[in-house]
Chains A and B, each alone.
Chain A
Amino acid sequence: MKRIFGLETEYGIAFTPSESGRRLGPEEIARYLFRPVVAWGRSSNVFLPNGARLYLDVGSHPEYATAECDRLPDLVAQDGAGQAIMVDLLGRAQDALADEGAAGTAHLVKNNKDSAGNSYGSHENFLIRRSVDFKHLTGVLLPFLVARQLLVGAGAVLPAGISTEIAPADANRAPSAGQAPPVRTGELVYGLSARSDVMWEGVSSATTRSRPIINARDEPHADAEKYRRLHVIVGDSSMSQTTSELKVGSAGLVLDLIEAGVPLEDLSLRNPIRDIRRIARDLTGSTVLELRSGATLTARELLGRYLERAAALVAAGDHSLGDDAAAARVIDRWERMLAALETGDFSAVDTEIDWVIKKKLIDRYLERSEAGLADPRVQRLDVAYHDLTPGSGLFPRLEAAGLAARVVDAAAIEAAKDCAPATTRAAIRGDFVAAAHDARRDYTVDWVHLRLNDHAQRAVVLKDPFAHASEPATALIAALRADTAPSGPPAP
């Protein structure tokens, strides 16, 4: 079985002015960040030589969408490359800010919620077969996604009480200028995912007004008769590579079960939107879930049902993760995490899962400082976990101290900044972008098409995301290479 995977990550922006400095807003910082991108590609929406898309999304969020991957470790490397490219852009923005007298530090934050409760996402894309009934597929997948935060949540300080009654539009409105975020009042708890509180539907085609767990927008970016692209938007951005691997890998295996026609009992939840909030607030996974069938089981048991089937699939070698070792790691980490939830002993997973790693930091900080969860320093610590800014970001220190495990090494990430995955359509796109850019030609690229703007011929169409070679594309790229003088500025 084969599958294409992709990750889209929106980053938050912050600015710390130095004492004399003026405070710059996110839009201003975003413009500094994207200056080198615009200089390179004459647009703030570009495809890179590694096949990825880099752009400014809704609300001035810098966004990086990985190239199509058909191996899970490639996806982890490509996502890491996106992060590394953001760090590079941040460094250049910082230099430009200093040159132009804007005194302060710019921050890029790989999290999912700001202080005012605005949320921005990490979206997982999975290529699925058009032949599988979409309603059946989402019905089987949804209960898993509601509970998956127990395995892979990023960890968040949440109000202890839950509400499913806030009008969705209010929950995501952009703050007016100068408006202070709401002060944290009431009891707070350390929970699994900030994203859980901004989900309002199971499956729908809305994204910002009434966010669904699965976005049903049908843009396959491939042969629409054969494929559909499943867009999962409930997930947290992962700092930890091992968390990222489990997040995408476990969902991929559940899709494998559905597409392979493995019989699964109906685990549909009676109230998934209430349940996702309840689960987010129970670090033991003991939340009792009521199924539509009338049966009840705990969130942990629900994840165990999926695990049992997924483990059998992996044991039989019939999975889509593109790498047997990665699939075995996913199953092993999933098992260890469920055992940890059951016993309360997280020592076997405490370098691998974001919410567990972050909890260690926050627990220890509370012990050391006498601060409470509402303390701004705890919120600052939470942001620091996700901060990519050298000097204030914690994750590189955690990795260096052996407190955060890795899936791929630094060299693989460095390589992925320039090279697309070799085994998917992205390899063709990456070659084309690099060749057209080196030849200083105007070109237009999207996920499916490649075109030279001044070229009489029609666009090269790449409808099969698994095909990593295309005769017309090869000819086009060879022609570009033939009349290229070397040099030109490097890609951002």
Chain B
Amino acid sequence: MSQEQFRAQPRGGSGHGEEPAELGQVQAQANTQGVDDVLDDIDSVLETNAEDFVRNFVQKGGQ
């Protein structure tokens, strides 16, 4: 599971947890890869008319 999005990068050496730093890095990489895959899948949607979509995503208010 990734930690990197929320935590400053550890400044060298191991983190303060008991988990070996390497294991944490492997998990973070796997997680980032998963996120990257999802973003890759959606990339063409984001690059095609994002501005147009957003500008027109308007409805009446509900409750």
Closest chain-B Cβ to A171's Cβ sits at a distance in Å of: 9
Q: Contacts of A449 on B, CB cut-off 8 Å?
A: none
Contact with A along B20-37 (1 / 0, CB 8 A): 000000010001101111
Find the residue from B2, B41, B51, B62 having the highest chain A CB count within 10 A: B62
Instruction: Kindly state whether residue A208 has any CB partner on chain B within 8 Å.
Output: yes
A120 to B57, CA, bound (A): 13
Is B61 touching A119 in the complex (CB atoms < 8 A)?
Answer: yes
Q: Contacts of B60 on A, CB cut-off 8 Å?
A: 26, 58-61, 118, 174-175
Range for the number of chain B residues in contact with chain A = 20 to 34
Which residues of B33-63 are within 8 A (CB) of A?
34-39, 41-42, 45-47, 49-51, 53-63
Instruction: Kindly state whether residue A394 has any CB partner on chain B within 8 Å.
Output: yes
| Closest Cβ neighbor of B36 among chain A residues | A364
Range for the number of chain A residues in contact with chain B = 35 or more
With beta carbons under 8 angstroms apart, the residue of A115, A208, A348, A391 that contacts B57 is A115
A344 to B31, CA, bound (A): 17
Which residues of A316-375 are within 8 A (CB) of B?
340, 344-348, 350-351, 359-361, 363-365, 368
Instruction: Kindly state whether residue A12 has any CB partner on chain B within 8 Å.
Output: yes
A392 to B31, CA, bound (A): 21
Is A208 touching B62 in the complex (CB atoms < 8 A)?
Answer: yes
Contacts A181-B58, A360-B35, A398-B38: A208 and B63 contacting too (C-beta < 8 A)? yes
A444 to B5, CA, bound (A): 53
Q: Contacts of B54 on A, CB cut-off 8 Å?
A: 115, 181, 376, 379-380, 383
A116 to B61, CA, bound (A): 10
Contacts A26-B59, A208-B62, A384-B45: A376 and B51 contacting too (C-beta < 8 A)? yes
| Closest Cβ neighbor of B60 among chain A residues | A59
Q: Contacts of A59 on B, CB cut-off 8 Å?
A: 59-62
Contacts A345-B3, A345-B6, A403-B35: A394 and B42 contacting too (C-beta < 8 A)? yes
Is A392 touching B50 in the complex (CB atoms < 8 A)?
Answer: no
Which residues of A395-429 are within 8 A (CB) of B?
397-398, 401-403
Closest chain-B Cβ to A374's Cβ sits at a distance in Å of: 11
A106 to B1, CA, bound (A): 34
Is A361 touching B35 in the complex (CB atoms < 8 A)?
Answer: yes
Q: Contacts of A175 on B, CB cut-off 8 Å?
A: 58, 60
Find the residue from B3, B32, B63 having the highest chain A CB count within 10 A: B63
Instruction: Kindly state whether residue B7 has any CB partner on chain A within 8 Å.
Output: yes
Q: Contacts of A14 on B, CB cut-off 8 Å?
A: 53, 56-57
Instruction: Kindly state whether residue A453 has any CB partner on chain B within 8 Å.
Output: no
A58 to B42, CA, bound (A): 32
| Closest Cβ neighbor of B46 among chain A residues | A377
Instruction: Kindly state whether residue A129 has any CB partner on chain B within 8 Å.
Output: no
| Closest Cβ neighbor of A400 among chain B residues | B38
Q: Contacts of A344 on B, CB cut-off 8 Å?
A: 6-7
Is B62 touching A347 in the complex (CB atoms < 8 A)?
Answer: no
Which residues of A17-38 are within 8 A (CB) of B?
23, 26
Q: Contacts of A57 on B, CB cut-off 8 Å?
A: 62-63
Is B63 touching A211 in the complex (CB atoms < 8 A)?
Answer: yes
A401 to B35, CA, bound (A): 8
Is A364 touching B39 in the complex (CB atoms < 8 A)?
Answer: yes
Is A350 touching B42 in the complex (CB atoms < 8 A)?
Answer: no
Is B42 touching A347 in the complex (CB atoms < 8 A)?
Answer: no
Instruction: Kindly state whether residue A10 has any CB partner on chain B within 8 Å.
Output: yes
Contact with B along A57-69 (1 / 0, CB 8 A): 1111101000000
- Can you add 14 more A-B contacts, CB < 8 Å, to A347-B2, A360-B2, A384-B45? A12-B57, A14-B56, A57-B62, A114-B58, A115-B56, A123-B63, A180-B55, A346-B5, A361-B35, A376-B53, A377-B46, A380-B50, A394-B42, A403-B38
Q: Can you give 19 contacting A-B residue pairs, CB < 8 Å?
A: A16-B53, A26-B59, A58-B62, A59-B59, A115-B57, A118-B61, A121-B63, A344-B7, A346-B6, A350-B5, A363-B5, A364-B5, A364-B36, A377-B50, A380-B45, A391-B45, A394-B38, A401-B34, A401-B38
